[in-house]
Amino acid sequence: MNEYDSSKMVDMMCSERNMQQTKDPAEADLILLNTCSIREKPQEKVFSQLGRWKPLKTNNPELIIGVGGCVASQEGKNIIKRAPYVDMVFGPQTLHRLPKMYDDAVKTKLPSIDTSFPKIEKFSKLPNALSVNPSAFVSIMEGCSKFCSFCVVPYTRGLEVSRPPEQILNEIKNLSERGVREINLLGQNVNAYRAKDIHGAKLRLADLLQLVADINGVDRIRFTTSHPLQFTDDLISSFENKKLANYLHLPVQSGSDRILKLMERKHKVELYIDRIEKLRAIRSDISISSDFIVGFPGETNEDFEETMNLINIIGFDQSFSFIFSSRPNTPAADMFDDVPYEEKLSRLNRLQALINVNANKISQSMIGTEQNVLVEKQSKKDIGQISGRTENNRWVNFDGPEDLIGSFVNLTITEALPNSLRARLIN
Ligand code: SAM
Ligand code: SF4
């Protein structure tokens, strides 16, 4: 989501203020730091990064520094208090106001702060992407109304708001006309998508997926992230459409009903297993990935073993896992937590090792199979090679001409490495 927002900031400033992007901060007239506050560590990094940029203002007094994203939303004017050389503070929902904020900062030399949640105004104000890759993100909804007890998102990004379908479809049509072949629909909980079409008919994510699949040129669709509670039968049936990648990211967080209740996830482990079984009745070999929080306040060894058990039942593919991080204003921040940090770390290591074993098995089982891959770029490691992603989200490197970038090709997988695959081109 932040990657998408950052690219929109670049598009805004380039198209509306004729700026050019530079990778060298010493050369910049404007530096924007897009931030994440989902855990404490990335939040702390914000101030150390700002500290590194501070001296640039001595050489270039005209330099404007802006802080956006969820830390900006959460901390507001405290950012200016702690780092008075920051000129602009804007939240995830106000990044479309950047050009005006920038003009004001240049003119008045006074800091400005706008971290409001002006509904979904942002999207109608954003320009089309200036440059495109074969695979693109498209945001379909913002915010979250689930209020899981550990999570800061509803406070920093606001409540769930869905984008009108026409706007989404126009953005995707524009992208596909420019060569984009894969669309990744984005939102904190995309399956909470609720909208109406121009005739007033109700639309949910399953309906939107069908409309996206009907767009000429769009050949692969992904969506992220979903909540198990709203991973409903209509959405499961959407996987009958082969344009949906054979991959699902459906975070479960924990395999213990007791912890899920404390997390206020509003479902039990059984529901999760049931949904995956239904999905596998349609796509027997689909890759399932998840997010896990380890060491939630009061998590016992038994609770943790239940999570390990669930990992074995589902056979999760490569996933994201984190040690619980206490976030300001969330209910979990006040929960009694008697699990020592060393214990949490050891659980995290065990969980990650088990996930790696599963993911490795899946990669090994792909050797010798034929995979349809969207070629996205030149390989970073091997000059002369090109790279793409399999449906189950693995990078594959193989020999082939650069002009295949942007096309789907069939490959035979020849080798499975820990973080990527190698392959041979078939056609
Ligand atoms: N909406 C998605 C869901 O409900 O699964 C998750 C979105 S959240 C931005 C991404 C992940 O960050 C979560 O799935 C969770 O595992 C992790 N996360 C959120 N708050 C956290 C916290 N306080 N400590 C550790 N991990 C956290
Ligand atoms: Fe955070 Fe996801 Fe829960 Fe929403 S559903 S509060 S984004 S973890």
CB 171 within 8 A of CB 163: no
If you measure from the C-alpha of residue 426 to the centroid of ligand 1, how many angstroms do you get, rounded to a whole number? 40
Q: Which residue has the higher pLDDT, 128 or 338?
A: 338
**pLDDT tens sequence across 244-290:** 999 999 999 999 999 999 999 999 999 999 999 999 999 999 999 99
Ligand 2, atom 2, lies closest to the CA of 188
pLDDT of residue 120: 60
For ligand 2, say whether the CB of 256 is within 6 Å of any of its atoms: no
* Nearest atom of ligand 1 to the alpha carbon of 188: 1
If you measure from the C-alpha of residue 289 to the centroid of ligand 1, how many angstroms do you get, rounded to a whole number? 14
Q: How far apart are CA 411 and CA 422, in angstroms?
A: 9
**pLDDT tens sequence across 192-249:** 999 998 889 999 999 999 999 999 999 999 999 999 999 999 999 999 999 999 999 9
Q: How far apart are CA 43 and CA 49, in angstroms?
A: 10
Kindly state the percentage of the chain with pLDDT values over 70: 99
Q: Which residue has the higher pLDDT, 147 or 44?
A: 147
Q: pLDDT band for position 383 (50/70/90)?
A: confident
For ligand 2, say whether the CB of 144 is within 6 Å of any of its atoms: yes
**pLDDT tens sequence across 10-31:** 999 999 999 999 999 999 999 9
* Nearest atom of ligand 2 to the alpha carbon of 144: 4
If you measure from the C-alpha of residue 161 to the centroid of ligand 2, how many angstroms do you get, rounded to a whole number? 14
For ligand 2, say whether the CB of 325 is within 6 Å of any of its atoms: no
For ligand 1, say whether the CB of 120 is within 6 Å of any of its atoms: no
Model's pTM, two decimal places?
A: 0.93
Q: Backbone phi, then psi, for 297, in 5-degree steps?
A: -50, 125
For ligand 1, say whether the CB of 253 is within 6 Å of any of its atoms: yes
DSSP 242: T
Which of 188, 261, 272, 329 has most ligand 2 atoms within 8 Å of CB, for mutation? 188
pLDDT of residue 153: 94
* Nearest atom of ligand 2 to the alpha carbon of 227: 5
Residue 235 falls in which region: left (phi positive, over 0), alpha (psi -120 to 50) or beta: alpha
Q: pLDDT band for position 117 (50/70/90)?
A: confident
Which of 226, 291, 330 has most ligand 1 atoms within 8 Å of CB, for mutation? 291
- C-alpha dist (Å) from residue 226 to 77, 194, 197, 248, 288: 33, 14, 22, 9, 12
pLDDT mean across residues, the chain: 94
> Which ligand has an atom closest to residue 319 CA?
1
DSSP secondary structure letters along 195-227:
EE-TTS-EEEHHHHHHHHHTSTT--EEEEE---
pLDDT at position 347 over 70 = yes
pLDDT at position 36 over 80 = yes
pLDDT of residue 119: 67
> Which ligand has an atom closest to residue 43 CA?
1
**pLDDT tens sequence across 53-65:** 999 999 999 999 9
Ligand 1, atom 20, lies closest to the CA of 151
* Nearest atom of ligand 1 to the alpha carbon of 148: 4
If you measure from the C-alpha of residue 38 to the centroid of ligand 1, how many angstroms do you get, rounded to a whole number? 7
For ligand 2, say whether the CB of 148 is within 6 Å of any of its atoms: yes
pLDDT of residue 381: 78
If you measure from the C-alpha of residue 153 to the centroid of ligand 2, how many angstroms do you get, rounded to a whole number? 6
Q: How far apart are CA 77 and CA 83, in angstroms?
A: 10
Q: How far apart are CA 423 and CA 413, in angstroms?
A: 4
Q: Backbone phi, then psi, for 399, in 5-degree steps?
A: -75, 135
Q: How far apart are CA 237 and CA 202, in angstroms?
A: 18
For ligand 2, say whether the CB of 43 is within 6 Å of any of its atoms: no
* Nearest atom of ligand 1 to the alpha carbon of 152: 20
* Nearest atom of ligand 1 to the alpha carbon of 330: 23
pLDDT of residue 285: 94
pLDDT at position 124 over 80 = no
Kindly state the percentage of the chain with pLDDT values over 90: 86
Closest CA to 293 of 312, 319, 318: 319
* Nearest atom of ligand 1 to the alpha carbon of 332: 23
pLDDT of residue 95: 83
Spell out the residues 6+ positions from residue 134 whose beta carbon is closer than 8 angstroms to its own.
179, 180, 181, 182, 374, 375, 376, 405, 406
For ligand 1, say whether the CB of 38 is within 6 Å of any of its atoms: yes
